[in-house]
Each structure stands twice: as C-alpha cells, then as structure tokens.
Structure 1
Amino acid sequence: MTALVDIHLTGADADAALRADARAGLTAYPKHLPPKWFYDARGSELFEKITELPEYFPTRTERALLERSADEIAVASGADTIVELGSGSSAKTRLLLDAFRRAGTLRRYVPQDVSAPALRDALDALAADYPGLELHGVVGDFTAHLDRLPPQGHRMVAFLGGTIGNLLPPERARFLRALRATLRPGEQFLLGTGLVVDPAVLVPAYDDAAGVTAEFNRNVLHVLNRELAADFDVDAFDHEAVWDAEHEWIEMHLVARRAMTVTLAELDLTVDFAAGEAMCTEISAKFRLPGVRSMLAGAGFAVVRSWTDPEERMALTLATAV
C-alpha cells in the first residue's frame, strides 16, 4: 500500500525559523537556542549514540515500559488510528502498532516529523513490514501544525520520549490546548514523560563520561556556522548540564571558555560572549504524576491510566479528550 505524505514544512520554512530563533536567542539575556536545531544529520546520529550510553536511561526505560504496557494501552484505547508526533524512525512505535493489531483495531498509522527524508525512510520500512496498514505521513512541526493532522478514524495521538519536557511551561500549555482543539471528544492522547529522580542518576544522563552529549550540544554551533555563515569557535565552548531543583528540570548550557565576538554573516549580526557566559540550549523538565494529571486536565483531557517502570523513572499516561 502506497503511503501518503502531506508537506506542511519546507526547507524554506525551516531556514526562516532558524534565522528567527538564532536572532531572538542570541540577542536575549541570558542567551538561548531551541534544542530542535541540534538535529541535523550529524546531530541525529549523535543522539542515537546517546540513547545507547549506559548513563542515558530514558530511551531504554520507556521502551521496556512500552513492551510491558502496550497491550493494556491498546485495549484501554480502542483507537483504529495511531498518530505519532516527532516520530523519527518510528522504532518504539512498532510496539504500539503490534499491540493495536493484536487487539484487532489498528487500521492506520500517521507519523509526523520535521524531516521529510527521515519520514519517508520510516514509511518505506513500515510499508514492507505492515502490509495492509494505511500509512499517512505528515511533514510538520508539532508546535505549529497540529490542526493539519489527518482527521480520519478514531485517533490516539502518541507523544513519547519525554519530549514534552523540552517545552517551557507556557509552551507546554499552548501545545496541549492546541492538541485538545484538534481532537474530537473521546479521542485519546498517550503522553510519555520523564519523572523526577535522584539528580545523581539524572545529571549523568545528560553529561556522559564519553563526552557524546557534549558533542551533541556543541553540534548546534556547527549548524549555525554552516547555515548562517557564523564563525563560532566550537571548541571554545564547554558542555554543562545542571539540575534546577526549583523548576525540576535539567538545563543544558554551552559555556564560553573565553571572551569572544561571533559574527553571523547571513543575519548581519555580531554577538559578544563574556568569559564563562552560559547559553541555554535545552531544558528537559521532569514530572510527578499528580502534576501530569493536573496539566492534562487543565487542557481538557481526562486521565484514563498511567503506567510507570519499576524504578519510577518514566511514565506513560493515557488520557481522553473530554
């Protein structure tokens, strides 16, 4: 069966967004850049390496949790269409596809991702492995294009990997309200969240001994150098990961080792860094289950059930649009 692909995000759109984000973030105080700009081809490869590191528990923990709970999720949901936001390779989603197929309800899978090549590769692999499954890919940004998700079927939207933690609280609230507005009453949302755990376990997950996360963090500077004709001295920035106990999130920073001036020729912009100045490149918020339920209720969802791993490091929460 041939997969459909809707394109709502083009290369020109991505270029405009990068320019806007770089200008806004580099002229702010403190400086910041959105984490989505880590993920060019090299950044995606580095992140795959991160998921295999001994310190980085979220990916394998969520996968094991899905393996244990997917059949219960499928029975509790009854959806015939799985929509996945930020689908990437759709590797973990196969656990859901298999479970919903065993439950006898699965008809359609709708992966959404910002990368058209990654999406097409995933769809090709899925078409070979799931004959008869309707596949409808969407190239788009989950912060901007939720209203363009295909409306067919009784949908369950999956948002896994703890990615919601990369959004600041106001962004989270906007995202959840927009998602609720997209869904019909009775349709569902499956949310994966990282839970608050001991910082001694959490911080090394974002600051591994092998330095892979440091390279991943610095990759955003390579992206700016290439795409915006910037002249960042990438090696002049140190990677830093810190736990913010007040907000209960990890912050990743790039810290300037020395004072420097950086030019971004494509933006006609010059930016000064002081020695020791930290630029925030990612937050990764962690949650407590009562807070997850409250957050979802505030956006118009009723929680059906939550599942956690034995060490309570990750959670999956199924909610219904009311």
Structure 2
Amino acid sequence: MNVHAAALAKAHRFDEQTSAFAQDAIEGLSQFPKRLSPKYFYDATGSELFEQITVLPEYYPTRTELGILHDRAGEIASIIPGGAALVEFGAGATTKVRLLLNQCALSAYVPVDISGDFLKAQADALRRDFPALSVYPVTADFTAPFALPDAVRQVPKVGFFPGSTLGNFEPHEASAFMRSAREILGQGAQMVIGVDLEKDERVLYDAYNDAAGVTARFNLNVMVRINRELGGNFDTGAFIHRAIYNRDRHRIEMHLISKKAQSVRVLGRSFSFRPGETIHTESSYKYSLDRFTALARGSGWTPVESWTDADGMFSVHALVASD
C-alpha cells in the first residue's frame, strides 16, 4: 500500500470503498508501466457501458455463454442440490442467472458486486419476477473475503461466476480467487463458472476493438471516474483505447495510450506521461480446457462436468470443492 495514498484518502474522509480506490489508483499510476485495476471500471456508467458491449456483434462471449446456459440449464440444475443458495460473484445484469433460476429449485440468491446501486436495481427486479425466491444482495469487492448473509449459512451453497471475468486475473490471482470462493462458500460447495477459450486472434481483436467504439468509452470511463471521485484532471481526449493480443501469455491486453507528453494530477499527486506511454487497464486470459482444469484442481476444486458451444469458443464448468 502506498503511504501517500493512505494519508490522502484519510484527509479526504473517503468511505472504505473510495479509500481503496484511491490507494489502488495512486499505487497503480506510480508503477512502471502504469496500471489500473479493471474492477474500477464498474461504476454506474461503466456497468451500463459493459451491458452495451455484451450485445455488440463483435463481442461473442455473452451470447455464446448464454447459448450454453440455455441449452444445458437442465443438466446444470441436475447437479445443484435442491434448496441451495446461489452466490453470484460479480453480479451484473440478471440475464444469465435467470436461466438457472428457471430450472433450479433454489432457496436464495446472493448477488455480490462492488457497484451497489446497480446491484440493488437488479435485485429489486428479481424479487418482482421470482417472488418465492429470497434475494440478499451484498455490496462488496468479491475478490476479497466477505461475509455471506446469516440467512444462507446453513444451506448448501453454489457459486456462480459467469462471463470471462476469471480471465481478468493473473493466473496466480485466479487461483487465489478460486481458493477464496471455496472458503466463503464453505464445505461441500459447488461452483458454476464460465471460462473463455483460446481462438483465432482476429476474433479476439475485433471483440475488444469494436467498430462502434463502446469498448473505448468503457475503458476511458475509468479516467472519468478518477476525475469525479478522486479529484483527478485526466483529459480523456488526450488518451486513446487500444486492445492487443499477447500471444505468449494467451491474453488480450487493454491499454489507455497517452497521445502526447502530459502531466495528470490525482489526489494532489502529479503523474507524467510520455507520448505513447500506456496505462494497462485490463488483461483477459484465454484458457484451453486442460489449462483451466489444472487451475481448478490446483485451487481446491474437482471438475464435475464441462460444456462448450459447437465452435469451441466458450466453456461452462461445474466444480465441487475438494475434500
């Protein structure tokens, strides 16, 4: 933790979440190369922009995973015990979870996300549409330990982690998250998780550099958020979005690239940029089925079943906590 960031956060009397944002932003911008965590994409605007991304013609993950969940929901439901609580890590729009709720005899749904306002709106909609289902939203950073509601402590728990979010973690971070999820869910836990697969590089490039520029706005929005919440003075017009595929590391990298020499201030700290210097805002690792299976086993989970689309673009896995 950067001591200057901690002092500045205290001086500004930020709440706990904003203090963490301040510390992470100052620390990340102080590194070389500069970095910002992708978890800070998701303020209200960022969450809305991401939902727009999911329906873009170039962006295959959401529609492909939805197809798998739609076609295999009955098989997934047969693995989940009746009366279980479904805990969704990083809950966004409810389109995917509804496919499971329609098939599974669940007692409760626990959506967990850092964006509290967006989370509440989605939870309210689910309560209206599934009146017999208990919904307990938890506003928390799902990458860190958090407490489950008391109401679900005594029932079987199933983690739900759809999308390609696991790929946003470095491999050692992905393993740490899966171990943490196992501890949070408890003994006998299960997990249903989506994993993006390796594929043609042009497909990957187009998915993260869409023609409409929505992904660019999504990426640049983290600067808007820093300006609003941390007193920054980023000129978003002085940066451009770029996503590239790093073949050696099996990952897409998203960057914000400075168009000129400039200086930016955040919480009273000054950060200089050379022309062409980047802020690395996100990595999205792509897995083979074998590499993900090895990751799961090494993180305390036993694979039970996996499903892919016909073209092998995406995968959904059912896991059970290892003894």
Question: Which one-letter code corresponds to 1:154 in the other structure?
Answer: P
| TM-score w.r.t. length of structure 2 | 0.91
Deviation at 1:146, TM superposition (A): 4.0
What's 1:213 paired with? 215
Q: Deviations over 1:260-297 (max 9, x none)?
A: 11112xx2200000001111011111111111111111
Structure 1 gap segments, 5+ residues each: 1-10
Between the aligned partners of 2:164 and 2:42, the Cα distance in structure 1 is: 16
What's 1:311 paired with? 311
Between the aligned partners of 1:107 and 1:296, the Cα distance in structure 2 is: 27
| TM-score w.r.t. length of structure 1 | 0.91
Q: Is the 8 A contact 1:253 1:280 kept in 2?
A: yes
Where 2:188 maps in the other structure, the secondary structure is coil
Q: Deviations over 1:204-236 (max 9, x none)?
A: 100011111111111111111111221111111
Q: Deviations over 1:169-226 (max 9, x none)?
A: 2211211111222333432011111101111101110001111111111111111111
Q: Is the 8 A contact 1:146 1:178 kept in 2?
A: no
Q: Which moved more, 1:230-239 or 1:247-256?
A: 230-239
Question: Which one-letter code corresponds to 1:83 in the other structure?
Answer: V
Where 2:137 maps in the other structure, the secondary structure is strand
Q: Deviations over 1:17-46 (max 9, x none)?
A: 110111111000000101122222222221
Where 1:99 maps in the other structure, the secondary structure is coil
TM superposition outliers: structure 1 runs of 4+ over 6 Å? none
Residue in structure 2 matching 1:89, options 87, 90, 93? 93
**Cα distance, 1:146–1:164 mapped onto 2, change above 3 Å:** farther
What's 2:140 paired with? 140
Q: Does 1:48 align with 2:51?
A: yes
What's 1:119 paired with? 119
Cα RMSD (Å): 1.4
Structure 2 gap segments, 5+ residues each: 1-13
Between the aligned partners of 1:48 and 1:137, the Cα distance in structure 2 is: 19
**How do 1:18-57 and structure 2 match up within 5 A?**
18-57=21-60
Q: Is the 8 A contact 1:146 1:179 kept in 2?
A: no
**How do 1:137-216 and structure 2 match up within 5 A?**
137-148=137-148, 150-216=152-218
Q: Deviations over 1:233-266 (max 9, x none)?
A: 11111111000111101000011111111112xx
Where 1:177 maps in the other structure, the secondary structure is helix
Q: Which moved more, 1:70-79 or 1:55-64?
A: 70-79
Between the aligned partners of 1:45 and 1:186, the Cα distance in structure 2 is: 35
Q: Which moved more, 1:144-153 or 1:49-58?
A: 144-153
Between the aligned partners of 1:275 and 1:116, the Cα distance in structure 2 is: 37
Where 1:261 maps in the other structure, the secondary structure is strand
What's 2:131 paired with? 131
Question: Which one-letter code corresponds to 2:99 in the other structure?
Answer: L
Q: Deviations over 1:41-90 (max 9, x none)?
A: 22222112111111011111111111011110010222522111111232
**Cα distance, 1:148–1:82 mapped onto 2, change above 3 Å:** closer
Q: Which moved more, 1:175-184 or 1:61-70?
A: 175-184
Q: Is the 8 A contact 1:166 1:282 kept in 2?
A: yes
Q: Is the 8 A contact 1:188 1:318 kept in 2?
A: yes
Between the aligned partners of 1:223 and 1:260, the Cα distance in structure 2 is: 19
Q: Does 1:256 align with 2:258?
A: yes
Question: Which one-letter code corresponds to 1:89 in the other structure?
Answer: A
Between the aligned partners of 1:37 and 1:119, the Cα distance in structure 2 is: 15
Question: Which one-letter code corresponds to 2:173 in the other structure?
Answer: E
Where 1:263 maps in the other structure, the secondary structure is strand
